[in-house]
Amino acid sequence: QVQLVQSGAEVKKPGASVKVSCKASGYTFTSYYMHWVRQAPGQAIEWVGIINPSGGSTTYAQKLQGRVTMTRDTSTSTVYMEVSSLRSEDTAVYYCARSERVDGFDIWGQGTMVIVSS
Amino acid sequence: QSALTQPASVSGSPGQSITISCTGTSSDVGAYKYVSWYQQHPGKAPKLIIYGVSNRPSGVSNRFSGSKSGNTASLTISGLLAEDEADYYCSSYTSSSTVVFGGGTKLTVL
């Protein structure tokens, strides 16, 4: 079946970096965009960015520009999101989600909790 | 890019209909037919219920419907069920080639 499986929870200190993976299966990896969104505890969903697995092009939310990098490995159907210079405000559940167009995130990963704490 | 504006909460009784609004600008909601709606139960990942303003994915109840007028999109849930109690989020593609979400609406089924 179609699914996205993310890597496990992370605890990081302020200023460190974190890299979260999202492995896709059950569909043609390069035929769908992959988005990353995050949700801080008790807060709304926030869009982080998008990667086109076909060519690797990316677009990031202005708020995280310069601190977030998205990459993909087509040989393993996996996308990665790295956030650097972590701050306490980056504490959130991070989700990957695919879309066929630029809207309609139809399949979601299970979420990865990232805690930033000294 | 500011978040789309949704009411913080709405409520309704079983069997009733409710509507959740999602207000953006001429650079996002008003500019494209790329508005989606998501349902999120506590501790769960969001679930897509509407895409392309008014399209339902396969398997989503026809009690959920979407529409748009100008810079405001709307989600209507008819025949409310207890299981509809959840948080609802709208999203839109923007002229900056990004995506913006709304602040979320908590639906309470009385």
pLDDT single digits (tens) B65-95: 999 999 999 999 999 999 999 999 999 999 9
Confidence band of B2 (pLDDT split at 50, 70, 90): confident
- What per-residue string of b and e applies to A82-111 under the rule 16 or more CB within 10 Å gives b? ebeebeeebbbbbbbbbbeebbbbbbbbeb
How far, in Å, CA of A51 to CA of A77, rounded?
13
Count of beta carbons in the 10 Å neighbourhood of residue A41: 9
The answer for residues whose C-beta is within 8 angstroms of residue B50's C-beta and 6 or more apart is B35, B36, B37, B56, B60, B64, B65, B66, B75
Chain A contact set for B38 (CB, 8 A): 45, 105
- What pLDDT score was predicted for residue A7? 98
Q: Select the residue from B96, B98, B106 to test the A interface by mutation, using most A Cβ atoms within 10 A.
A: B98
pLDDT single digits (tens) A7-41: 999 999 999 999 999 999 999 999 999 999 999 99
pLDDT single digits (tens) A51-99: 999 999 999 999 998 999 999 999 999 999 999 999 999 999 999 999 9
Is B48 touching A (CB cutoff 8 A)? yes
Q: Which of B1, B93, B103 sits opposite A44 (nearest CB)?
A: B103
Is A53 touching B (CB cutoff 8 A)? no
- What pLDDT score was predicted for residue B67? 97
pLDDT single digits (tens) B17-51: 999 999 999 999 999 999 999 999 999 999 999 99
- What pLDDT score was predicted for residue A103? 86
| Four-CA torsion A105, B59, B29, A29, nearest 10 degrees | 20
Q: Which of B34, B47, B98 sits opposite A47 (nearest CB)?
A: B98
Residues 65-94 of A with CB under 8 A from B: none
In A, minimum Cα distance to B88 occurs at A44
Is B98 touching A (CB cutoff 8 A)? yes
The answer for residues whose C-beta is within 8 angstroms of residue B27's C-beta and 6 or more apart is B94, B95, B96
Confidence band of A117 (pLDDT split at 50, 70, 90): very high
Using the beta-carbon criterion (under 8 Å), do A105 and B100 form an inter-chain contact? no
Using the beta-carbon criterion (under 8 Å), do A45 and B101 form an inter-chain contact? yes
